[in-house]
Amino acid sequence: MPASPAAALLLALLLSDPQVEPSGLPGAPALPVATAAKIREALREKGPSYRPEARHRNPDGSPRYTNRLILEPSPYLRQHAHNPVDWRPWGAEAFEQARLLNRPVLVSIGYSTCHWCHVMEEESFEDEEIARTLNEHFIAIKVDREERPDIDSLYMSAVSSLSGRGGWPLNVWMTPAKEPFYGGTYFPPRDGERGGATGFFTILRKIHEAYGRPGSTLEDSARKLTESLRAAFAAPRAGDLPGEKAIRGAVESYKRSFDPEFGGLLGATKFPSSLPVRLLLRYQRRAGNAEALKMATLTLERMASGGIYDQIGGGFHRYATDRRWRVPHFEKMLYDNALLALAYLEGSQATGREDFASIARETLAYLRRDMRSPEGAFYAATDADSPGPSGESEEGRYFTWTAQEIRSALGADRSRLALQVLGLTPVGGSASDRGVLYLAHPLEQAAKSLSISPAAARASYESSRHDLYQARLKRRAPHRDDKIVTAWNGLAISAFARAALVLDDASYARDAGRAADFLLEHALEEGRLRRSVTESQAGPAGFLSDYAFLTAGLLDLYESTWEPRRLRQVLELDAVFEKHFEDPAGGFFLTADDAESLPIREKPSEDGAEPSGASVAVMNLLRLHELTGQARFLARAERALKAVGGLLAENPTALSEMLLAVDFHDDTPKEIVIVTPKRAEEAAPFLAMLRKSYVPNRILVVAAQGGDLASQSQQVPLLKEKKARGGKATAYLCEDRVCLLPTTSPDEFAKQLQRRDKGKQGSGGT
């Protein structure tokens, strides 16, 4: 499309202006001198040894091209800093340039550990001919979806409505007014490649020819699509307070889709989040439903024995590509592992099974070892790809093995047992002899077949896992995204804090506390949360999930450490959250009221791979109501539940995580107060009883009579008039502020925990 006279004049002035410098990118306009100087300085700071993964290099090995993304903190954006594309970060400057030049905008959204994002970068964004077309006729913007979930959610919905599918990389063409008119996910570079009829280069050419042409319908399409998105993003239908009926409806839906052989939901691709194990465990407790318990435990068993679980290093990959959970997509995400640790912790409590507790320990050990920053916070993710012997990246190379590699690492004797216990599933059904490890046979069975005692077999197997891990460390590890995401760290804080109670290990609480303190120091600026921190640089303004997940983590930390400052931190965050995110009519917005304006301000109404911030926010408010006794928290929670009441009546599985809050609200939560004579640690015998009990709907307060009990009572009125009787630790078990007789006997406390108030419980059914 020919540029307008005004745009042509602007471009001519730019190119003749002594205040600009050539960008060096094919077909790209000149850069302002100040921007060019910043880019040079950023390169200089990296030093002469800097060797990024870039296709185009100078004779000395330095990158031939560098664009504005070198100035960004996001690891994903920096991965594209040496493409020949004139990438810009999302911002007003880029859209203003598009308006002045009358160009369409390409927004390409992904994340740093995304396999197909890497593929499209190599094929298209490193291609100089494609880059020239982009630079001459478009404004190109790169977005890290993990830093900007608002942008990702809006334009993912647009692409899904256009093509019926979504995923990453997400490529969206839009007007300078941010209204989308076309998009898709991965595109092959040219027609016919990778089986695609139309390639990225052809799409660019066709959009360029059509945009702004007299009679073109692209801008009309953009307006119509934006209007349809506004309708799709409209607040869900309100209704009555949801209760047991919604929970039962969700469980019945999961039963119909359940895979009775391998757990999870039926289908070839399996995500751990698709079947909400924690909801099923609560339903079994609520309704005595044996089938719900079987669904939960079978899913936990099959995931832990499959290749989706890293049998050597611990932790879970992102999802499985087969029904048996054996062949994973090899990314590892912080949020998946935090959520799965919570599921296995609850599974161990609900069933008493030590193997579930062991998986939780190993998952948390993986996070400690491989995903923790020196300051104590947790990194975002690791990649699916890693370099093989030839130097070319291969998906899953780091995690796969041959039988010969195992024999070489372990020797003949130990490898016999290891290869009986561990099976090898070929990756992608290829003829390669490399495979993913999974648990093929129980250790006891393998020991019997080899005439080894169970104790000797256990010792041999554990030493074999250690040695295989050490052998794996010699390989080139996958790229790690070192971004500290506030929301995902909130989930990790919850997992570690709850592990401290369930596993009776205070070191987990210390880890949770370090991560919390890092966020409160580095991701909190003038009372407002930031979405992320990378290399000590704070990222964009925080979103709904950042506030909700961190608040939940601090509540869990309060209940595992009994430090009053944690509850104060919760209340301070909640005050900001209520002011900027809450809809007075009920529910919560994804973005703050003073955030950047997008065409639509979303109110999330669906749980996905990670819970909706709205779901967790409701649970936070219910817990705060129980802790503080303040009716305003309950009123806010009930407004939010009514705001999605119609949705939960029609489609309860859309918000399965919110059903945990519904279960809490519909139950009579237990209010547990333990007062000790001198030190909180004296509550240990009572906590041992609580540890053995599955009591998901409860609050826990531990306070020492010799401490600042009076001041704590101002925050938690339940503490008023409570004392350690006879100089002994004393437990008070209350419901609706009415307490049973206090007891100094842990055994009596255990009996009290088993009492069930049926007043607000539904009958459920089997």
* Tokens representing residue 530 in the block: 């930031």
User: Could you tell me what percent of the chain has a pLDDT over 90?
Assistant: 83
Predicted confidence band at 758 (pLDDT cuts at 50, 70, 90)? Answer: very low
Helix or strand or coil: residue 700? strand
User: Could you tell me what percent of the chain has a pLDDT over 70?
Assistant: 96
Predicted confidence band at 427 (pLDDT cuts at 50, 70, 90)? Answer: confident
Domains for the chain: give ranges and CATH numbers: 5-232 (3.40.30.10), 330-384+483-666 (1.50.10.20), 387-477 (no CATH), 670-754 (3.40.30)
Predicted confidence band at 392 (pLDDT cuts at 50, 70, 90)? Answer: confident
Average pLDDT over residues 547-560: 98
More confident residue, 54 or 188: 188
Residue 759 clears pLDDT 50, i.e. is over it? no
Predicted confidence band at 680 (pLDDT cuts at 50, 70, 90)? Answer: confident
Predicted confidence band at 185 (pLDDT cuts at 50, 70, 90)? Answer: very high
Query: What's the mean per-residue pLDDT of the chain?
Result: 92
Average pLDDT over residues 260-274: 95
Between helix 613-628 and helix 631-643 the angle, nearest 10°, is 150
Predicted confidence band at 17 (pLDDT cuts at 50, 70, 90)? Answer: low
Residue 14 clears pLDDT 60, i.e. is over it? no
Q: Could you tell me which residues are beta bridge partners of residue 532?
A: 485
Predicted confidence band at 281 (pLDDT cuts at 50, 70, 90)? Answer: very high
Residue 334 clears pLDDT 90, i.e. is over it? yes
- What pLDDT was estimated at residue 235? 77
pLDDT in tens, 191-213: 988 888 899 999 999 999 999 78
CA dihedral 489, 494, 498, 500 (to 10 degrees): 30
Model-level pTM?
Answer: 0.93
Residue 9 clears pLDDT 70, i.e. is over it? no
Residue 54 clears pLDDT 90, i.e. is over it? no
Residue 734 clears pLDDT 70, i.e. is over it? yes
* Tokens representing residue 45 in the block: 């700071």
Average pLDDT over residues 40-57: 88
- What pLDDT was estimated at residue 7? 52
- What pLDDT was estimated at residue 765? 35
The kind and range of the H/E element at 413 are helix 403-421
- What pLDDT was estimated at residue 638? 98
Predicted confidence band at 275 (pLDDT cuts at 50, 70, 90)? Answer: very high
Q: Quote the CA–CA distance of 301 and 564 in Å, as a whole number.
A: 38
What is the phi/psi pair of residue 60, to 5°? -85, 5
Instruction: Evaluate whether 172 touches 157 at the Cβ level (below 8 Å).
Output: no
Radius of gyration, CA atoms only, the chain: 28
Residue 706 clears pLDDT 80, i.e. is over it? no
Q: Quote the CA–CA distance of 407 and 415 in Å, as a whole number.
A: 5
Instruction: Evaluate whether 499 touches 508 at the Cβ level (below 8 Å).
Output: yes
Q: Quote the CA–CA distance of 248 and 226 in Å, as a whole number.
A: 36
- What pLDDT was estimated at residue 18? 60
CA dihedral 440, 444, 450, 455 (to 10 degrees): 130
